[in-house]
Amino acid sequence: MRDRLILLPGWGLGIAPLEPLAEALRGLDSRLRVEIEPLPLLDSSAPADWLDELDANLPQDAWLGGWSLGGMLASELAARRGERCAGLLCLASNLRFVAEPTWPSAMAAETFGVFRQGCAADARATLKRFALLCAQGAADPRGLSRLLLGAAPQAGAESLLAGLDVLAALDTRAAVQDFVGPQLHLFAGGDGLVPAAAAPALLALLPDVEVGLVDNASHAFALERPHEIAAAIQAFLHEVGDD
């Protein structure tokens, strides 16, 4: 199933932001089976519980990829599976979402804490703010944020908060270092959630993996510019011989 790619979405906005990318990838190569798997609907804040759920439900030997939180979970699952994972694709996905002294290229902990408090108080308003942050740096940020929010599922506050806690807890540095399969990490130059500086920081940590920076693009670049992102992914798949 090395012609199969499983994509995991980011926090709170469901699978819709990845659908244009999946369709673009299928258009480039009809042999590539691209599927988007929703994130687990769990109240648990333990990353291991989320990974157990994904591991039990996702096919073996496929490429694993994802956007933002989805990419972080894909990284951990790829490391867990080892040779049973064909490769890893991460889109606007930091190795740590929340900054700490050894990984400063991330969101400030205080900023994240305020965001989480906002979600606990008013989840719908926080999702609206999140969609605006995802669209920051896009050519049409307001239009893109409306697209993101309009297709978002009606998730419960408990599940959203659990997802934020998982996002804050994950540190995928060991996972991407342990995984020996091919890796592509794409970042967005105008990202309002994952600093562009995360790209050279990742490359410094892992000089042998493919890292790209898409200029003048938002965190939601998979929805904003799906054909460009699909072309970059397809070129990488061709390069490593799994097209």
As annotated, the active-site residues are: 68, 191, 219
Please count the other Cβ atoms lying within 10 Å of the Cβ belonging to residue 153: 13
Q: What's the token pair of residue 137? A: 């740096």
Spell out where 41-172 has E strands. Answer: 63-67, 87-91
The CA R_g of the chain, rounded to the nearest whole Å, is: 16
Tokens 């008013």 correspond to 122
Bridge-based pairing state of the strands 4-8 and 63-67 = parallel
Residue 195: closest CA among 76, 126, 93, 112: 93
Q: What tokens were used for 189?
A: 């130059």
Query: Which residues, other chains included, contact 237 with Cβ-Cβ below 8 Å and sequence gap of 6+?
Result: 29, 32, 63, 243
Which residues, at least 6 apart from 161, have a Cβ–Cβ distance to it below 8 Å?
45, 116, 119, 120
Local structure of residue 171 (DSSP, 8 states): B
Quick one: which of 109, 152, 162 has its CA closest to 129?
152
| Residue with tokens 């980011």, as numbered in its chain | 10
Helix (H) or strand (E) holding 51: helix 47-57
